[in-house]
Amino acid sequence: MDRKFVFVLLVGLVVLMAALVTQGLLSTAGANNQKPQDQTQSQTPSNSPTSSATAAAKTKTDFNLLKEVYQKMKDNFYQPDRVQDPSTLEEASIRGLVSTLKDPYTRFNTPKEYNDFTGSLNGDYEGIGAYIELRDNQIVANPIKGGPAEQSGVRSGDVILTIDGEKADGLSTTEASSRLRGKKGTQVKIQVLHKDGNKEAITITRDEIHVPSVESALMDGDIGKITINRFGDTTASEVERALKSLDDSAAPKKLTGLILDLRGNGGGYLSAAERIGSLFVDQGGVLLIEKQRSSEMDDKSFGNNRPNLPIAILMDEGTASASEILSGAIRDNHMGILIGRNSFGKGVIQTSVPLSDGSQLIITTAEYLTPGQHPVQGVGLAPAKGFHVDSWADSINEISDEMKNFGASLGTIGLSHGATTTQSGSAAIEPTASDVVLKSFGKLFNDLAQDARQDDYQGALGVLGQIREKIHTDPVQLITDTKVDSTQVEKDRFALLFGGFVSTFQPQLDKLQQRLEHNDIATALDWLHSPGIAGKTCPCKSPDDPVSTTANSNEDQNSK
């Protein structure tokens, strides 16, 4: 088929759809199940000219006028180079047509975009290392643990405002992703809006991103921990191998429980989530309920051949889509509990429809509910009662903001230059003693965060002890230890400001310590070792509901 004709056909569809929406002629069936055309006919007398024209438009559209307009533009526009070639206009018209659905998850992918998308599900690509979603028409980032975005300061739930100086508002996830990706070593500048309301400009150096699908470790000799970072083609079989490896590692003892870590997992293939769910839910158990256009279907477990060990699922704001499906299936079948913070809330399913040129239409085809009929879209899943775990990262971010404010106050009285790394050949700014002190605190907090990201909470608490020791050091001694020349007046001024800084800093350190001690891993282990759960198999529910009893008994401890 001639590409020009395809283009005009598609543009015609866009224009027609827009016209119908503008005129209020497209509507969904109401509670009485009327068809759209029945509602339209009841609004306009059948003998009116408008009615006749509308009926004609419904039965016959040849797009001749549209083709005529395009040809006139091509023949007469005074800058002919601004009339796009048919292939470019074809792609733009398709994206326009898709956008009329106003669904953030339905999208058109060129062959390259689709290859990039599947590559990310397989865990290998070059970019900033973050999952992005569209929420309330805003691009929301959830950085991958240890990736360039996280290391540069991007926080889970950040709204990306600009990418390389251009507004991100109005971009699709495909468009935003293409701008954020790039060759290793290149940089991208973004501005983000943190959840605390602060805006921050961040420069990220792109890198090779390799996210292992599944990781596993044995804890306390009898608790298996499986981390699922994404739901790709091979993830289910990798989980099966991880379970076998954990069984072997625990021998001669037997596993008594599992921790399933889905923090930061933005989802992937539905089929992978169903296969993994079947490893933990008995045959015939409902994994999810799909609500399609005119039908509802239960997706059921294929069946497992393992003991039903109690499962503690770790989740956070980045737990989305397939991760929420798996979490809801395990929770509602009483095979375990949810620990952490509310999940993202993506409760719809997309189907990939291949097109003739290798491109793909990714289209939302269903909403899903958990087996207990709980909706997920826009609301997410909540942790079990008493098992909410506050984020240590939020405390780190609050402290980081406080340190920036302290640095700014030092600058106002000439104690700080705001030392920065300069490019080769430019004049270096010599850091002041105050700059060196602040930098040393920053390094300690970076080390602490690195340990905590790797779930080494004891290591993080050890670094926190070093920070506590440092803030109780004589501030004049801190300045002296930098070996940077400073006057006594400078030392005295720093000491005065540092005393005020410590008075607000100390409570934040106390909060951080509490969050590091009551972390999600420790909470999961406590539950799995509790008398009502340890040594038992699931369903973890009986007439007296030991799960709820255990949750309530720990509520005060875990809600701090």
Reading the chain (560 residues) residue by residue, the pLDDT tens digits are 444 444 444 444 443 333 333 323 222 233 333 333 332 233 333 344 444 454 444 545 666 786 788 789 889 999 988 888 877 878 888 888 899 999 989 999 999 888 888 877 777 789 999 988 888 889 999 898 888 999 898 988 899 999 999 999 888 888 899 899 999 999 999 999 998 888 999 999 999 988 889 999 999 999 999 999 999 999 999 999 999 999 999 999 999 999 999 999 999 999 999 999 999 999 999 999 999 998 999 999 999 988 999 999 999 999 999 999 999 999 999 999 999 999 999 999 999 999 999 999 999 999 999 999 999 999 999 999 999 999 999 999 889 888 888 888 888 777 766 544 444 444 456 788 888 999 999 999 999 999 999 999 999 999 999 999 999 999 999 999 999 888 888 888 888 888 888 888 899 999 999 999 999 999 999 999 999 899 899 987 533 343 433 333 333 333 33
| Beta-carbon count within 10 A of 402 CB | 14
Q: How is the chain split into domains, by residue range?
A: 3-100, 124-210, 224-369, 392-517
112 carries an active-site annotation: no
332 carries an active-site annotation: yes
What phi and psi, each to the nearest 5 degrees, are found at residue 294?
A: -135, 20
Fold of 224-369: 2-enoyl-CoA Hydratase; Chain A, domain 1 (3.90.226)
Question: How many whole angstroms separate alpha carbon 460 and alpha carbon 549?
Answer: 32
pLDDT value at position 413?
Answer: 72
| Beta-carbon count within 10 A of 134 CB | 18
| Dihedral of alpha carbons 113, 118, 121, 127, sign | negative
Question: How many whole angstroms separate alpha carbon 200 and alpha carbon 27?
Answer: 42
Q: What does DSSP assign to residue 82?
A: G
* Amino acid, single-letter form, for residue 273: A
Question: How many whole angstroms separate alpha carbon 379 and alpha carbon 175?
Answer: 26
pLDDT value at position 518?
Answer: 97
For residue 357, the number of C-alpha atoms closer than 13 Å in the C-beta half-sphere is 13
Tokens of 64: 């001749």
| Dihedral of alpha carbons 59, 60, 65, 68, sign | positive
What does each C-alpha distance from 500 to 146, 371, 409, 445, 479 come to in angstroms?
A: 33, 54, 11, 20, 16
Taking only Cα atoms into account, the Rg of the chain, rounded to an integer number of angstroms, comes to 29
Residue of 116, 332, 455, 520 marked active site: 332
Alpha helix stretches (DSSP H) within 153-251: 173-180, 235-250
Nearest to 234 by CA among 321, 116, 118: 118
Residue of 225, 300, 346, 536 marked active site: 346
Q: What CA dihedral angle connects 161, 164, 168 and 172, to 10 degrees?
A: -140
Question: How many whole angstroms separate alpha carbon 26 and alpha carbon 199?
Answer: 40
Question: How many whole angstroms separate alpha carbon 344 and alpha carbon 378?
Answer: 8
What phi and psi, each to the nearest 5 degrees, are found at residue 26?
A: -105, 125
Question: How many whole angstroms separate alpha carbon 63 and alpha carbon 102?
Answer: 25
Question: How many whole angstroms separate alpha carbon 334 and alpha carbon 369?
Answer: 16
pLDDT value at position 529?
Answer: 95
The contacts of residue 411 (CB under 8 Å, 6+ apart) are 417, 418
What phi and psi, each to the nearest 5 degrees, are found at residue 420?
A: -130, 160
pTM, whole model, 2 decimals?
Answer: 0.78
How remote is the C-alpha of 317 from its chain's centroid?
7
Q: Which residue has the tokens 């062959």?
A: 111
Residue of 321, 323, 327, 391 marked active site: 321
What does each C-alpha distance from 183 to 168, 203, 541, 550 come to in angstroms?
A: 21, 15, 51, 50
553 carries an active-site annotation: no
What does each C-alpha distance from 113 to 67, 94, 128, 359 come to in angstroms?
A: 29, 15, 16, 8
pLDDT value at position 66?
Answer: 67
CATH of region 124-210, choose from 3.40.190.10, 3.40.630.10, 2.30.42.10, 3.30.830.10: 2.30.42.10
Helix axes 86-99, 3-22, angle to 10 degrees: 30
For residue 519, the number of C-alpha atoms closer than 13 Å in the C-beta half-sphere is 22
pLDDT value at position 142?
Answer: 86
Adjacent-strand bridge partners of 215: 227
DSSP characters for 442-503? HHHHHHHHHHHHTT-HHHHHHHHHHHHHHHTS-HHHHHHHTT----HHHHHHHHHHHHHHHH
